[in-house]
Chains A and B, each alone.
Chain A
């Protein structure tokens, strides 16, 4: 699908663009998937329902770098907080093509200690999960508005 962006310099954000969502809760995933379909229709998205799967995917994509996502959206509780922290640490210890991908953490938790820890570990952003469906869509529209329509996301290096 052609990128619906008015700015030339943002087209790279949409080229073969993939979003990795790490979410263990099926109900939340349904909400997220619907929101992505409506707000970011240009994107391919992949869901990992646990940290092992997320790491496996990222490892396999590293071999074919064009497969790497433009952005990672990770739930803190996957299913526990400790696993969530470990996952961030592991991702940030991967090769530069992986660890430079912006990692947006989202959680129902608004605990300042959780927020601070997330930033200490290197997440790019921390968002609190919205409460009902209409909010999820508005939420993802805002994600699109910032990460895709304003930011220049790290380009995927193609080995020619």
Chain B
């Protein structure tokens, strides 16, 4: 049973990784709609453009945002903090992913309000396994917020 838009936003600066993730979704998880962003700024630009339109955009809100922690410019944590400042977008579940963090960095993410933190999976099988578990939880089990601009 799906609720929410069934859309996942994925923010990652690495082209190769985005490509791989896109392939995984296309082939193995076609029931979910994925939209990619290349940086925190890219995502925030989108958030802002949605806001200024000032209408209820219903289905256009993602059910989940997957953020890469280590990105040049605005890193994942900074992006998270900015999104959380937004009156409506702050409700949207955000999952942070990284494979090179200290315990302190992970704690900071939780303190900053991330919904979950995951170690970034390497390799096709782990990637599929992770994406499947993440989407199953957030897009099928979890009740998504229904933001109203």
Contacts and interface: CB of A to CB of B under 8 A. Distances in A.
Q: Do chains A and B interact in one complex? A: yes
Interface of A: 9, 96, 99-102, 110, 112, 115-116, 119-120, 122, 124-128, 139, 142, 145-147, 149-152, 154-155, 157
A155 B142 contact: no
Nearest to B93: A125
How large, as a class, is the contact surface on chain B? 20 to 34
Interface string B75-111: 0000000000000001111000000000100110011
A150 B116 CA distance: 10
A142 B111 contact: no
Contact of B133 (A127, A146, A155): A146
Interface of B: 90-93, 103, 106-107, 110-111, 113, 115-119, 130, 133-134, 136-137, 141-148
B110 A102 contact: yes
21 contacts: A100-B111, A102-B110, A102-B115, A116-B148, A119-B91, A119-B93, A120-B90, A124-B115, A124-B116, A125-B115, A125-B142, A126-B142, A126-B143, A127-B141, A128-B143, A142-B137, A142-B141, A150-B130, A150-B137, A151-B116, A151-B118
